[in-house]
Amino acid sequence: MVNFGIVGFGLHAVKRLMPGFAGAKNCRVSALSRRNLDQGRQSARQFGIPLAFDSTENLCRSPEVDAVFVATPNSCHLRDVLTAIQYGKPVLCEKPMALNADECRQMVEAARKVGVLLGVAQVFRFEESVNRFRDYVAAGKIGKPIFARAEFSLVVNANHPRKWINDLAVAGGGPIPDVGVHCVDALRFILQDEVISVSARAVSDELSGEVESAASLALDFSRGTMGTVKVSFRSPYRTPLEIVGEEGSIGANDAFSVDLPVTIEPREGMVVVGREEVSNRKAYTRQVEAFADAIEGKAAFPIYGEEGWKNQEVLDAAYRSMKSRKAEKVHSVAAV
């Protein structure tokens, strides 16, 4: 049994991580940290977690913590991941991995140097829907992929519980790093291909301030697929996904949803040739179980730090493109 400590026990931990751990058979949460220790102890009592700390360092010192899940705001990821690595703790970092690719590089190099397992919590790779898409495309059922489209919208208003979400220094951006990274990673995973250049444009408004409120990214993949990612903090929740090939297509209206069933429809031209309903409810459980298996040497974790770094290089290229108003190359990531 692998004992996790959750660093930054906030909304995401309550809404997604704890239900995920509740279904896990090979791991559990033994500790948490919050900046306010009284609030941390209150959360620990509420969820039956044995230990509460007021800092990442104190949590990492505990012999009751085998692995660390970093769920703090984005700007804290580098510090918290490096602290866990310093104490020799395997660490699973929430997406986006960092504020920029250089921070990702620092994490990866630190983990490599001491041989500590570093993973990134791109949970969509554990969704049934995303894996069905990947298998369908890999089997050649749509022929060579021509277009790949992923969208993610949600409403982020002035009352959003993540008060830092529109703070550039803390979030690193708006919906591009928050949910766009999910879209980028899902397309890379499904197509089993890498993005080589990005063209991007975005809009902002009074509420978003220095960060974008909506954005559109055009992705060029190395084998010729043309991808698009559209994200928004002003539209009702929706997560359509579609891959179009020379011989057919596959799509779903709410492909990334973990709360509702997902209906996947392959097509030949305009004709639906099949329909499958899947559930992503166990994605968070699969994620932590997979990381625990990797710690125990039972299987490799599928999303090492290098994968988060690759995603961040795409995001960085998008922001460069927004400034230059032209396509920007995606920098390569040093192999292990």
Predicted confidence pLDDT, tens digits, the chain (336 residues):
999 999 999 999 999 999 999 999 999 999 999 999 999 999 999 999 999 999 999 999 999 999 999 999 999 999 999 999 999 999 999 999 999 999 999 999 999 999 999 999 999 999 999 999 999 999 999 999 999 999 999 999 888 888 899 999 999 999 999 999 999 999 999 999 999 999 999 999 999 999 999 999 999 999 999 999 999 999 999 999 999 999 999 999 999 999 999 999 999 998 999 999 999 999 999 999 999 999 999 999 999 999 999 999 999 999 999 999 999 999 999 765
Nearest to 68 by CA among 39, 14, 27, 112: 27
**Are 12 and 28 in a shared domain?**
yes
The DSSP symbol for 66 reads S
- pTM of structure: 0.96
Quickly list H helices, the chain.
11-12, 18-22, 37-47, 56-61, 77-86, 101-114, 128-138, 168-171, 175, 181-191, 283-295, 305-324
pLDDT tens digits for range 32-58:
999 999 999 999 999 999 999 999 999
One domain for residues 203 and 259: yes
Residue 117 lies inside a defined structural domain of this protein: yes
Q: Is residue 23 part of a domain?
A: yes
Residues 271 and 291 in one domain: no
How many domains does one find in the chain?
A: 2
Residue 54 and residue 169 in one domain:
no
Chain mean pLDDT for the chain:
97
Q: What is the CATH number of the domain that holds 135?
A: 3.30.360.10
Residues 138 and 273 in one domain: yes
Structural domain of residue 49, as residue ranges?
A: 2-123+285-304
Residue 251 lies in a domain: yes
CB 202 within 8 A of CB 233: no
> Domain check: are 103 and 152 in the same one?
no
Whether 206 and 103 map to the same domain: the answer is: no
- Answer yes or no: are the C-beta atoms of 213 and 207 closer than 8 Å: yes
